[in-house]
Structure 1
């Protein structure tokens, strides 16, 4: 978070270009088209499939559809390649698709007689569909379709393979029919900002989509979901649909869920919020008391809590001397004043030089207890996790859940990972965010000091552009975080970071692109996310140094989002 953060490794364009595989455009299907793949869902074990080096087996969990899926594990110089020969017609176009999960997964076809094709995805904790198309040559009557992983990576899972197009005469699995609408939809729980839903399993369904007041808000593979980012003491209407490869069902009967009042008499966080880091030190930026922090900031993250000699434990020491004699009593009083004005004040743990380490049950307990003690002492509303030197997902999750058990449902929990930390759901930071999704307020990824990165479309984007913000936010949105849990973190001025500063106009354009599909660059998300939480900046002090140009432009824009 500091102005001169350490350099981090990044995906270069050259490396990415070496991995990027062709993805042909979608083709028109005809009424006679079928899925020419056999045993496409691995319901008959590995019948019709051959896996290299005995790398494949079938499992009953996780599955995308039916009761089985392929699990293939790369080992040594073997990439766990599983193949099937599929009968096709000459001079015909086919759509090849499969659902994958786990480690790096590739899908492709060879022997097409024209241009062989393939596509891939980095590792994923949720099922993701890969799809590409190919055209057969004048004498091509069969092709080989394959899946494989990548050397040294985790096992991948594959299910519901489809080679969809004209009947090649080799048989094929029957196409599924559109599932029926879910029944038994009910509200299973509520909080001041969320409603949990449950429903009955629908035969033939591979996933479910949840709608809030007619707008799609989340998609899941199970029969329950929690919709977050809601206003307190507000009623919402929910419906659920069932989906599979054949399409989406009609909507279920609507149910109404009403959020509870904000606990402990506090003020609910607005639907769209602006987060600003307040510096508990003087590094050349404008020195502020908390009372000086601009009114546009809804969440003020006090930077930083420091490690103690006790493993996992943290403490906070106000830099009174560096802040011109600002006293602890004034600081505490200013926290209460900000809270009375509807703001949340939290303590941030870490920063560039932070050395907090939570790596076992004892340090997890120490972390939770010490953060809660700071909340009690100063009146903080919660905690921000800004650990830029790595974290352990298992024990940080344990620590945050222990803290939530003490603090209650009013806890504000934010995170500020670097871009590299959110490139894949297998990364510890991303895993932690998903592990605590039910209590997580927002992840404000730092879109700076990072170099080039992969977007959710597999292309490389350089920092400093609208595309960099939107295509990287897309990874989090498609990777499992709710839109209300995603914020864009940017420097308030060129002095606020070593690189990556963009004008407030670029920030606002990215917000509009993600929430409404307007003002996009070359990348445009496949859907809009009107519940996107908002934006964050480092820092309120650098913002003040620059005449509050950032908060005066981005703040009103965030608060005016749909």
Structure 2
């Protein structure tokens, strides 16, 4: 959603700067190999690269201009990965000299993440090789092969990024072939026992546990009364399904491919007595079919209004937006004087009045320029703690995730799980991804939605500012039509979300977005097509979804600017769905 202007630009089909394209085109085809090469290694072949998992920092590696470091997140496996940061005329090349045998074939592989990441080998004595990816938001394996020359005894293997591009990441690099005399890394060792196990937040049915990271561990097992109850990849977990006002004993162990450590010293955690959640007193339930509207905590030319002015057709009001602080993952919120509240108490009173009328008022995180980053365990905890604190302070019923500048599914899932454990079952959790974010279940937004499906209220995807997109039938549809809405909603419905978790997000007026506005009648036709199989365009879903949640708009302010035409037309239609 837009903070300061009425439209947002979304970059699609980007082919890169012209000078990057020229540099790539200039690479010799003979020097590039296709990723994913496979081959049958001889029995004597070993991994002759050292510290390819970067578990020992940068030992065995040399990075140009001090461009390399190791990080704990993101990692492909283990507890560390390489981060290379290009700057100026340096492309963040990190290399290692490896002993090899002459006239021998080797396979070089690594897992990488980021924009323009290269993997290669030089000094082979034959044809030096490299392979690359133009960019990936998740881990991708690169692989290439080469044969050493008649007198080659060592080669240099390397990764690098590209000039002017962001940091890249690499992990689990291997060079498999005959031993050149340098041997291989020793096999993994069973990790040490985790320390620092402690109890975090508790509810009447859950206990959150935290512990210290263990070097070389790839996961952790959580035990209750000596019985394993769940696994975790990070250093926290929330054990659910517990009885109220009951004490439990917990332990945790560390695991990797070599085995499992001993269990930690036990800690006791007691659930709360239950009853009304003190942080969210009187949270109303969201109706079966609901209308969501974003309320602007700023003035960008739309009608300025107070929460009390939002029409009653809106069931969920998303206050836009929470802000990031200097602490990664932490949220803050303050009223903009431009919206006209005399005090924070007046604003809180409006929220309480809406809740008394059966409406949910939630806090939206992100927006077009929002840059809240949740990419490690500490930031996930900071997110959950600060979000819950704001819910308690203002009376918000939940939060909305509207992060348009990147989202890490692993750690956002952890953050939302921790928040859910604090807020309890009355938490209202919504999302507003862009269309590109929900094209595939492999996308970070889609992965997050599916990972928190049991606590997710609704995903109101933004069917605007996107141009043309693929529908679930593999055909391309242009925005601004019934087909565009129904064929893209179908992807979410077939991808694993429940109908009750799918909503249609559109602008309230032509001024509410840069492109993609549709008349309220088009929204209603799309709702009918999905819920009842009527008023469809050329695309008709193979089944109906009568439980479809409803519709969302940006924003209640732009709706008011247009005389509330959107909510007056779409609101009653949503509420009359079967």
TM-score, with structure 1 as normaliser: 0.55
- The residue aligned with 1:170 is none
- The residue aligned with 1:372 is 388
Task: Report 1:51-450 matches (<5 A).
Answer: 53=38, 265-320=282-337, 322-450=338-466
8 Å Cα contact 1:476-1:486 kept in structure 2 = yes
8 Å Cα contact 1:477-1:483 kept in structure 2 = yes
Distance 1:497 1:315 in 2: 26
8 Å Cα contact 2:9-2:514 kept in structure 1 = no
After superposition, the C-alpha distances for 1:419-465 in whole angstroms (9 at most, x for unaligned) are: 00000000000000000000000000000000100000000000000
Distance 2:14 2:436 in 1: 9
- The residue aligned with 1:475 is 491
TM-score, with structure 2 as normaliser: 0.54
8 Å Cα contact 2:329-2:382 kept in structure 1 = yes
How far residue 492 of structure 1 moved from its aligned partner, in angstroms, is: 0.1
1:9 paired with 2:16, answer no
Distance 2:276 2:550 in 1: 21
Give the match's secondary structure for 1:426: coil
1:555 paired with 2:571, answer yes
Distance 2:466 2:475 in 1: 16
After superposition, the C-alpha distances for 1:188-228 in whole angstroms (9 at most, x for unaligned) are: xxx9xxxxxxxxxxxxxxxxxxxxxxxxxxxxxxxxxxxxx
How far residue 11 of structure 1 moved from its aligned partner, in angstroms, is: 10
Mark the structure with the bigger radius of gyration.
Answer: 2
Match for residue 452 of structure 1 among 428, 452, 468: 468
Q: 1:10/1:451 Cα in 2 relative to 1: closer, same or farther (>3 Å)?
A: farther
Q: 1:360/1:338 Cα in 2 relative to 1: closer, same or farther (>3 Å)?
A: same
8 Å Cα contact 1:276-1:301 kept in structure 2 = yes
Give the match's secondary structure for 1:429: helix
Distance 2:298 2:545 in 1: 36
Distance 1:406 1:330 in 2: 26
How far residue 326 of structure 1 moved from its aligned partner, in angstroms, is: 4.0
8 Å Cα contact 2:329-2:379 kept in structure 1 = yes
8 Å Cα contact 1:442-1:486 kept in structure 2 = yes
How far residue 4 of structure 1 moved from its aligned partner, in angstroms, is: 1.8
Distance 1:10 1:488 in 2: 24
Give the match's secondary structure for 1:488: strand
How far residue 476 of structure 1 moved from its aligned partner, in angstroms, is: 0.2
Structure 1's consecutive aligned runs of 4 or more residues displaced over 2 angstroms after TM superposition are 51-55, 261-267, 324-327
Distance 2:478 2:434 in 1: 15
After superposition, the C-alpha distances for 1:350-407 in whole angstroms (9 at most, x for unaligned) are: 0000010000000000000000000000000000000001100000000000000000
**Structure 1 gap segments, 5+ residues each:** 13-50, 56-74, 77-190, 192-260
Distance 1:389 1:545 in 2: 28
8 Å Cα contact 1:487-1:533 kept in structure 2 = yes
After superposition, the C-alpha distances for 1:212-255 in whole angstroms (9 at most, x for unaligned) are: xxxxxxxxxxxxxxxxxxxxxxxxxxxxxxxxxxxxxxxxxxxx
Q: 1:271/1:287 Cα in 2 relative to 1: closer, same or farther (>3 Å)?
A: same
How far residue 490 of structure 1 moved from its aligned partner, in angstroms, is: 0.2
Match for residue 536 of structure 1 among 552, 556, 559: 552
How far residue 262 of structure 1 moved from its aligned partner, in angstroms, is: 9.9
How far residue 6 of structure 1 moved from its aligned partner, in angstroms, is: 2.5
Give the match's secondary structure for 2:497: coil
After superposition, the C-alpha distances for 1:499-541 in whole angstroms (9 at most, x for unaligned) are: 0000000000000000000000000000000000000000000
How far residue 269 of structure 1 moved from its aligned partner, in angstroms, is: 1.1
8 Å Cα contact 1:10-1:452 kept in structure 2 = no
After superposition, the C-alpha distances for 1:87-143 in whole angstroms (9 at most, x for unaligned) are: xxxxxxxxxxxxxxxxxxxxxxxxxxxxxxxxxxxxxxxxxxxxxxxxxxxxxxxxx
- The residue aligned with 1:121 is none
Distance 1:341 1:396 in 2: 31
Distance 1:364 1:464 in 2: 37
8 Å Cα contact 1:11-1:452 kept in structure 2 = no
How far residue 325 of structure 1 moved from its aligned partner, in angstroms, is: 4.3
Match for residue 515 of structure 2 among 499, 508, 525: 499
Q: Note the aligned Cα RMSD (angstroms).
A: 2.3
How far residue 329 of structure 1 moved from its aligned partner, in angstroms, is: 1.0
How far residue 324 of structure 1 moved from its aligned partner, in angstroms, is: 2.7
Q: 1:294/1:11 Cα in 2 relative to 1: closer, same or farther (>3 Å)?
A: farther
How far residue 8 of structure 1 moved from its aligned partner, in angstroms, is: 2.6
8 Å Cα contact 1:278-1:290 kept in structure 2 = yes
Distance 1:324 1:273 in 2: 28
- The residue aligned with 2:481 is 465
After superposition, the C-alpha distances for 1:465-484 in whole angstroms (9 at most, x for unaligned) are: 00000000000000000000
Give the match's secondary structure for 1:421: helix
8 Å Cα contact 1:10-1:453 kept in structure 2 = no
Give the match's secondary structure for 2:453: coil
